[in-house]
Amino acid sequence: MAAFAQKLTFGAGMRTGLNMGLSGPTEGQLRLDDGLVDQANIRPFLGGQLTENLGFWTQFEIGTPNGLGSFAILDAIAQIKFMNELQLWVGQHIPANDRNNMNGPFFGNTWNFAINVPSFPFDVGARDRGATIWGLIAGGHLKYHASIVDLQPGRDIGQARFAGRLTAHFLEPENFYYNSGTYFGKQDILTVGAVLQGQNGDDGADNGFFGVAVDAMFEKNFGKAGTITAEVGYWNFEGSGENYVVNQNTVDEGLGISGPQPSESFMAVLSWLTPEKIGIGYLQPNARLQYLATGTDSTVLDIGLAYVVDGFNHKYHFNYRHADPGAGAEASDMIQFGFQYIMSN
């Protein structure tokens, strides 16, 4: 048996784009964002495999939320693999979460990150500090995550946030902690997942949190007919308190990160990838609808065209977005041009 060789992985990803307002509050404006969040993202990363069962991953973000002058630690994870069925991640990471956040902006199936549907609580970039036990059962056809996060020195364990996710893969498994919004026809996917998170609040303060989400994805390569990808998601945060604030009673309280409010939301994504290259890349028309109900219903519709040169490592997007905030507020329309590159050793 060959001796194990340690491995170091490093690189960086970049996303940036232009947004032109066609109507609404941003009409006539040309901006470096998508109308909702900053579109100047740089993410350097460094990871390593120390032994067959011990690794680490670190990742940073430059550009959000306050432009290129900001810097944040996204990931700082010790990774221990006892066996495929039992693995442990400790540090700052994405805990058991919905598929949307397990994809993230760099590995989704459209240009913009789905921000109109609410995210589960987080410290930065869907991440929080704590530990997750996870594993792949039956060759990865069943995957589970069990997390305890929002941990701070001197806190009672009852103040932590608990999360669990269960994912069933009926065709090819997604054999890693995270997942992708598409595999560009390289895997046939039929997967259904569910996640819940909960955190106790203070007595009588109505500041606890409870939320659930379910999601599903189908992707099939039909050969000469191309690749179809469809994804749906549903979120219900009606169990969260009106006064919930992320990282309550912790050293992070007061940083201006608010928690999700009671709401229901829905998202649907559909795309088609050409079977053959057109020039140096594949064309991928795509569409996504987001609907959020919080008493004032809001919708966001994206219709786009991606040019995929090398999967998530090298692609371009043209996108039209219509955003209606509801409650009589002015709707907006915009067109966007996006660029994404990832390089690693």
Residues ≥6 apart with Cβ < 8 Å to 155: 249, 250
CA distance 145 to 195: 9
The C-alpha atoms of residue 186 and residue 136 are separated, in whole angstroms, by 20
Query: Cα angle at 44 between 167 and 280, to 5 degrees?
Result: 80
| 83 beta partners | 86
pLDDT value for 203:
77
Q: What is the distance between the alpha carbons of residues 285 and 107, in angstroms, rounded to a whole number?
A: 16
**What residues pair up with 135 in beta bridges, in sequence order?**
144
User: Per-residue pLDDT tens for 250-281?
Assistant: 656 555 556 677 889 999 999 999 999 999 99
Note the pLDDT tens digit of each residue in 150-209. 887 777 888 899 999 999 999 999 999 999 999 999 999 999 999 999 998 877 788 889
- The yes-or-no verdict on residue 66 having pLDDT over 50 is no
- Domains of the chain by range and CATH? 77-344 (2.40.160.10)
67 — pLDDT class (breaks 50, 70, 90):
very low
Of 243, 338, 237, 336, nearest in space to 295 by CA: 237
**CA–CA dist 43, 75 (Å, integer):** 11
Query: What type of residue sits at position 327?
Result: A
How does pLDDT run across 281-331, given as a tens digit for each residue?
A: 999 999 999 999 987 789 999 999 999 999 999 999 999 999 998 888 899
